[in-house]
């Protein structure tokens, strides 16, 4: 089975490739650069995570002859509520394109450190994600996941430049900093995501 990822984010691509292998070890995963397809910057104007994921996937409809997978992510913080665009929330009025990758990573890290500090150094939180698969026919399948974590103002390891916030939290599933997970512990933390991917890819297998 082949899947096209509607993203040019290197961190997401790396993550997807690992997690999709947990769903189907024989799956073939492609990103835009693998097929020499120009990446598309989509205006995320949807009212929900699922709507934004659909916008990103539909942008590539007709450009590839395989199911297109996309997602959108929100972040819930106890006491602050749900943020459906965590990166934009962290950057405020700053134009992301005006920042280097290093500056962007540092700003995201410092913003979420500040949120945790406001709550005494740590706070219950959760990653909420919507996953969408759009098929060449236009048919759409979708699923959602939620990962419970504790956000802190402490760095537990060297932040990944494209996923810096991961260095600040520990998983409620493992009770261990996510950045320090073994491969097995990472799979445990990501089980809600893997289950959501299995749901949309299970539908894909039934359609193939």
- Tens of pLDDT along 137-149? 888 999 999 999 9
pLDDT score of 30: 93
pLDDT score of 208: 45
pLDDT at 6 over 50: yes
Whole-structure pTM over 0.85, yes or no?
yes
Q: How far is CA 12 from CA 51, 56, 151, 162, 188, in A?
A: 19, 14, 20, 8, 18
Site of tokens 């060297």: 158
Confidence band of 203 (pLDDT split at 50, 70, 90): low
Residue 31 CB partners (closer than 8 Å, separation 6+) = 4, 5, 7, 8, 13
Counting residues of the chain whose pLDDT is more than 70, the rounded percentage is: 97
Q: How far is CA 40 from the centre of its chain?
A: 17
pLDDT score of 139: 87
pLDDT score of 86: 93
**Beta strands in the chain, from DSSP E residues, in sequence order:** 2-5, 28-30, 68-77, 81-83, 122-134, 140-152, 169-171, 176-177
Instruction: Give dist(CA 159, CA 13) in Å, integer.
Output: 17
């Amino acid at each position: 089975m082949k899947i096209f990822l509607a993203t040019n984010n290197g961190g997401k691509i790396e993550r997807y490739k690992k997690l999709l292998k947990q769903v189907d070890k024989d799956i073939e995963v492609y990103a835009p650069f693998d097929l020499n397809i120009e990446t598309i910057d989509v205006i995320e104007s949807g009212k929900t995570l699922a709507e934004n994921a659909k916008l990103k996937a539909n942008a590539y409809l007709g450009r590839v002859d395989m199911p297109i997978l996309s997602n959108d992510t929100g972040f819930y913080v106890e006491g602050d509520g749900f943020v459906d665009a965590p990166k934009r929330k962290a950057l405020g009025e700053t134009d992301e394109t005006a920042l280097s990758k290093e500056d962007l990573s540092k700003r995201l890290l410092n913003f979420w450190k500040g949120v945790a500090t406001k709550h005494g150094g740590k706070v219950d939180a959760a990653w909420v994600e919507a996953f969408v698969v759009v098929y060449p026919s236009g048919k759409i399948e979708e699923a959602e996941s939620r990962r419970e974590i504790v956000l802190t103002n402490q760095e537990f390891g060297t932040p990944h430049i494209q996923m810096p916030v991961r260095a600040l939290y520990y998983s409620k599933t493992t009770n261990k900093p996510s950045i320090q997970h073994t491969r097995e512990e990472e799979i445990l933390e990501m089980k809600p995501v893997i289950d959501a991917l299995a749901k949309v890819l299970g539908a894909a297998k039934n359609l193939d």
